[in-house]
Structure 1
Amino acid sequence: MIFFTIAFGLKAQFNESPILNLENEDKKLLNWGYYLGLNQYGFKIDYKTNDGIYIQEGKSTGFNVGLIGELRLNDYFDLRIEPGLYYTQRDLGFPNFSNENDFLREIKSTYIHIPLLLKASTKRLGNFKPYIVGGLSTSFNLSSDENSREDNSTGTFRMTTNTNYCEIGFGIDFYLYYFKFSPSIRGVFALTDELVPDADPNSPWTGNINSLKTRAVFINFTFE
């Protein structure tokens, strides 16, 4: 039912003279909502030496769910905080191994992700309004194994628990009859190295990695 309402409402937004929905929605000092979405995480890997052996990376689609708090600054700018829970998995393959137990590392991550963003919108055009968004964020990886004494020699690929990022994206606010619906896409770039190296400095898994940083794409559907 909710998807039928969204589809019908979006079709009505592009009429030449639409009836304005939620006319006072953007005049409130504080606004609240929630979002559901999809993500795809990957890594930017920098190597210490160019020895011809590169880690193979496999990506999968995860999902996001979270809340929104928005502070109105003026007609065009809003400050937003969007704490959420993000689930994802990345697979790393190490081609110097033929044994699958040593070759493959499945990195399953559960993040508490907290971005602080500045949203810059255009003037409202009928019942929709494009915007861009950007800012900084931090995350806590509940599956990092940072403090584990085990490492890749026993099958555990370790990452830091806390990571900082910059984010930039764009989206469109659609003003429907009962609520505001906003699809958006965002690029996320880690600012800090996330690798916890193995105890052996010559480890065949981490010995040649200089830094390992997340790169991700978020597609969120917001309801306010």
Structure 2
Amino acid sequence: MNKSFLCIVSVLFFISNVFAQKDRVENLPNKDKKKIHYGYYLGINKKGFKVSYEIDNSFVNVEEKYGFNIGLVLGYNINDNLNLRLEPGLSSNSKTLTFSNPTIPDTENDRVRDVPATYFRIPLLLQFRTNRLDNMRAFVIGGVSYDYNFSSNQKNSDDNYDGEFRMKTNNFMYEVGLGVDFYLPYFKFSPSIRGIFAINNELVRDDNPSSPWTVPIDYFGTRGVFLNLTFE
């Protein structure tokens, strides 16, 4: 996760340096004077899980993988520096879990679970922007989101005894990030990096109250890094 963060930050700095070298012609001088504005975004993500335990001799290894994000932007300019944003969209990703609880049989079918997840996300965010400098301005952004997990299997009668790892359908996240607005001749381009963190416990416990897969786990929640490219 730390390597992904450093890589994405490096990309943002590279893009910033490229645009900083352009001729100083002010593009879209009235772009941020409109109260309501629209756009869309696309990007990549790398998601995993934060796991805490009630039993010390249990461990879940999470293999983090890359996925994609896509969605729309509806923004309201409170003033020149504050922007309220609604960013509904889809986020898709998959992870592989490997359980090391000694009471679980030592076979791949019992210890390994693939966890695909496609979320419909509705983030409500507040963006604080610096004053514009030529054709760019930096910003920080943060807020909360409601996330509907299409792949949760929460109502599935099968659980880990049948090879199914279940997660909750309705979830809440918070996110924080930073980015840069670049004003191009015909549109505004805004790369940003976000950290995404689950608020609630997403784990659906197995029906057996002594399940070696879910009893040792105290908390199980999504965390990830998003790189979004926004066009307005």
Q: TM-score, normalised by structure 2?
A: 0.89
Partner residue, 1:45: 51
Question: Could you say if the C-alpha distance between residues 27 and 103 of structure 1 is closer, same or farther in structure 2, counting changes exceeding 3 Å?
Answer: same
Partner residue, 2:6: none
Match 2:147 to one of 131, 139, 157: 139
- Give the superposition deviation at 1:202: 1.3
Task: Establish whether residue 59 from structure 1 lines up as the match of residue 64 from structure 2.
Answer: yes
Q: Which 5+ residue runs of structure 2 have no aligned equivalent? A: 1-13
- Give the superposition deviation at 1:13: 4.0
Q: Distance in 2 between matches of 1:135 and 1:33?
A: 19
- Give the superposition deviation at 1:108: 0.2
- Give the superposition deviation at 1:189: 1.0
Partner residue, 1:3: none
Match 1:170 to one of 178, 201, 213: 178
- Give the superposition deviation at 1:8: 10
- Assess if the C-alpha contact under 8 Å between 2:19 and 2:182 holds in 1: no
Deviation string 1:133-182 (CA, Å, 9 cap, x unpaired) is 01111100000000111101001100000111111000000000111000
Partner residue, 1:4: none
Q: TM-score, normalised by structure 1?
A: 0.92
Secondary structure of 1:153's partner?
Answer: helix
Q: Distance in 2 between matches of 1:20 and 1:8?
A: 18
- Give the superposition deviation at 1:56: 1.0
Task: Establish whether residue 150 from structure 1 lines up as the match of residue 158 from structure 2.
Answer: yes
Partner residue, 1:76: 81
Q: Which 5+ residue runs of structure 1 have no aligned equivalent? A: 1-6
Partner residue, 2:4: none
After the TM superposition, which parts of structure 1 deviate over 4 Å for at least 4 consecutive aligned residues? 7-10
Task: Establish whether residue 120 from structure 1 lines up as the match of residue 128 from structure 2.
Answer: yes
Match 1:188 to one of 178, 187, 196: 196
- Assess if the C-alpha contact under 8 Å between 1:9 and 1:176 holds in 2: no
Partner residue, 2:37: 31
Deviation string 1:98-129 (CA, Å, 9 cap, x unpaired) is 21111110000010011000000000000000
Count of matched residue positions in the alignment of Structure 1 and Structure 2:
216
Percent identity between matched residues is: 45
Deviation string 1:70-114 (CA, Å, 9 cap, x unpaired) is 001001000001001111001100124421111110000010011
Structure 2 counterpart of 1:165, which letter?
A: M
Partner residue, 2:3: none
Q: Distance in 1 between matches of 2:143 and 2:125?
A: 4
